[in-house]
Structure 1
Amino acid sequence: MRNERSTEEVALGIRRRVFEHCIRNNGGYLSQACSAAEQLAWLYNEELNLGDPTLPMVPKPFEGVPSPSNPGYHTGAGYNGPAAPEFDRLFIAPAHYALVAYATLIEVGRMAPEGLEMFNKDGSSVEMIGAEHSPGMEVHNGTLGIGFSTAAGLAWGRKRRGERGRTWVYMSDGEVQEGQTWEAIAAAAYHKVDNLYAIMDVNRQQCDGAMSSVMDVGDIKAKIEEFGGVAVWVDAHKLDEIREAAKTPHRGKPLIILANSSPYRGMPTLQLRFPRLHYVRFKSEKERAKMNQEIARSLKVDPIDYEGAH
């Protein structure tokens, strides 16, 4: 299925939807929408070759974990279409980007807006930290850093079977602080897994603050190349740069697009919170009202009426 809206419109819709949700709920993973909107909009609206969703537009409740006594179990990957040989597969590695991923699914017509009303509710599959049953998710990524490994293993198997579909992983720069990521890049390069692609949101933020103040990772591109991958820097908010980067030759090697992003893109008032942007919870009703007005003005929408919301 293809969405008729432009990718720019989808990205703006993602930011607006996440903004509305966070204002109504007194906080949330707001800055991730600022940094990731164009990347996820581009993946879903242009780049990925996906079939039609196989799950209901309104997500089902949580139906339990996989087991012999639970034959009806399914993952949330059905929102990305069937896992057929000709289609691409997507792994969303940073599970805390779930709110942005759900907003993306809604903006491209793969999930109903009502699904977001189930966000982080008891018994819901629309988890705050995405799990394998959450919309758009195929596996539980557990500790940050295993998403690229998971994708590398699947891509290797798909290549051996001769499947045409590619394997994509959406990841964050915090994952290069994890050794498993580097092992996966090296393994993929050694086994010539070139049907493996990634786009990394390099927003230089993590839960404890700025990356540079927690554990600086240095020159990410040079390190990826040393481990055998191909890496390309782009401006995360310039779609033409992302489009061109995806065409980079990488025979026998995985391709990783490094998307240099801003964690307050489109919502400049969030810069007042820098570097504490991982999860934005408003410190007072005064701050909530102020950000409601200022962010709405930046996104060219009306302020959110959140009377009675919590």
Structure 2
Amino acid sequence: MSTVTHSSTGGSSAVASGGAWQNEARRVARRIRARVLELTILQNGCYLSQALSSAEVLATLYTKILKLEDLTEPLPSPPFTGVPGSERRSPSGGRFHGEQAENRDRFLISPAHYAVAIYAALESVGRLAEGELESFNTDGSTLEMIGAEHSPGFELTTGSFGQALSQSGGIAFARRLRGDTGRTIVFMSDGELEEGQTWEGVQAAAFFKLDKLVLFVDVNGQQVDGLTKDIMNVEPINSRFDAFGWDVAVVDGHDVAAINEAVEAKEQNGKPLVVLAYTDTAKDMPYLNDRKPNLHYVRAKTEEDKTAFAAALAELQEEDS
């Protein structure tokens, strides 16, 4: 077995002993949660639980793991100009990751409904201009609820679901032929492991020995219809990837040090790497635990909900100040 398990080092002692990047990653994670919760309150509904579960993974990627070109200044989100076609080209959302270069990473996002978490992450690390999130999910904005190739942080439209790994495998293969030294890093949700195309992509990446391909999976155990174990069980995920010939790391998805360590330990051995980040869809909002597993899309349904959401937002914002 090539599975490596990284246990959590969380708690106050970890915060005290962590270096500057760990503290910054935790700050970004809190801000992601706060910004998405704020939008959930303002618009009475959002993909909140996805942000709650993935915040540390995205924060660690953007503050530590990803090697991206620096931007001279945060970018505004351009207005939506229409459906892209041969005569109309929308600016790629990938430009928020800087210019593509042979020694830089490509970061590709698969679950388009995680878009609001991506936007919040980009804003929190200074790649999306402050104030742009105010146009989220409004007519004429590229900050769409479901991200597309013109949305900030996205350079792919990943189809109905589960297509980005196949696309990313092709990109990683092309980059190797071109002699690029940068990695191709992909972010997915565990619900996408129910899709057959995902496993075709897994098989192909192993066959072509794409060891500069790194996949992060937010294993939060839920999908639109309920718990993944009840709808279409995908466990044991680690042994499945191992059987296909991948290196596998299993981590606490809220432990920034463990997330980073999983990538730093990677050897160029002809195997792609998957980091299975096990997470909680009610992280920092325990009030939502009573709603599980119906957390795919979250809105305040009662006055009690509104009060609880406002209290959680105030706490997150206080921690971030």
**What TM-score does the superposition give when structure 1 sets the normalisation length?**
0.91
RMSD (Å), alpha carbons: 1.9
Tell me, in whole angstroms, the C-alpha distance in 1 between the residues paired with 2:31 and 2:160: 29
Correspondent of 2:179 among 146, 155, 162:
162
In structure 1, the residue corresponding to 2:117 is in which secondary structure? helix
Structure 2: distance between partners of 1:261 and 1:223: 19
1:133 has 2:150 as partner: yes
Superposition pairs of residues 1-310 of structure 1, within 5 angstroms: 6-53=24-71, 57-70=75-88, 73-246=90-263, 247-249=265-267, 251-293=269-311, 295-296=312-313, 298-299=315-316, 301=318
TM-superposed CA distance for 1:68, in Å, is 3.5
Paired-residue identity, %:
45
- 5+ residue gaps, structure 2, are 1-20
1:24 maps to a residue whose letter is L
Tell me, yes or no, if the aligned pair for 1:14 and 1:103 is still in contact at 8 Å: yes
The separation in 2 between residues aligned to 1:25 and 1:301, in whole angstroms, is 22
Mind listing any 5+ residue stretches in structure 1 that lack a counterpart?
303-310
CA distance in 2, matches of 1:36, 1:101: 10
SS across alignment from 1:127:
coil
Per-residue CA distance 1:235-283 (angstroms, 9 max, x = gap): 0111111111112335111100000111111111111211101110221
Partner of 1:306: none
* 3-state secondary structure, aligned to 2:29: helix
CA distances 1:187-212 after superposition (whole Å, capped 9, x unpaired): 11111111100111000011111111
Using the alignment, how far apart are the partners of 2:87 and 2:42 within structure 1? 39
SS of the residue corresponding to residue 318 of structure 2 reads coil
Structure 1 residues 274 and 250, CA gap change in structure 2 (3 angstroms): farther
1-structure distance, mates of 2:308, 2:83: 42
- The letter for the 2-side match of 1:120 is N
CA distance in structure 2 between the aligned counterparts of 1:300 and 1:157, rounded to whole angstroms: 43
Aligned pair in 2 of structure 1 residues 5, 52: CA closer, same or farther (>3 Å)? farther
Deviation at residue 52 of structure 1 after TM alignment:
2.7
| 1:102–1:116 contact (8 Å) kept in structure 2 | yes
On the 8 A contact 1:55/1:79 being kept in 2, the answer is no
Counterpart contact for 1:91–1:151, Cα < 8 Å = yes
Deviations 1:35-68 (A, max 9, x none): 1111000111111111134897221101234434
Query: How far 1:284 moved relative to its partner?
Result: 2.4
- Aligned residues of 2:189 and 2:219 also touching (Cα < 8 A): yes
CA distance in 2, matches of 1:83, 1:9: 27
After superposition, the Cα gap between the structure-2 partners of 1:139 and 1:244, relative to the gap in structure 1 and judged at 3 Å, is same
Code of the residue aligned with 2:155 in structure 1: it is: E
Letter in 2 for 1:141: T
CA contact (8 A) 1:102 1:135 kept: yes
Cα distance, 1:4 vs structure 2? 11
Q: Which amino acid is 1:270 matched to?
A: L
**CA contact under 8 A between 1:54 and 1:82: conserved in structure 2?**
no
Instruction: Spell out, residue by residue over 1:130-176, the C-alpha distance to the aligned partner (whole angstroms, 9 max, x if none).
Output: 01100000011112211111111100100111101110001111111
Cα deviations by residue, 1:281-309 (Å, 9 ceiling, x for unpaired): 2212342223322x23653639xxxxxxx
Report the Cα distance in structure 2 between the residues aligned to 1:20 and 1:223, rounded to whole angstroms. Answer: 38
Cα pair 2:31 2:317 within 8 Å, conserved: no
CA–CA distance in structure 2, aligned partners of residues 8 and 284 of structure 1:
31
Structure of greater relative contact order (alpha carbons < 8 Å, 6+ residues apart): 2
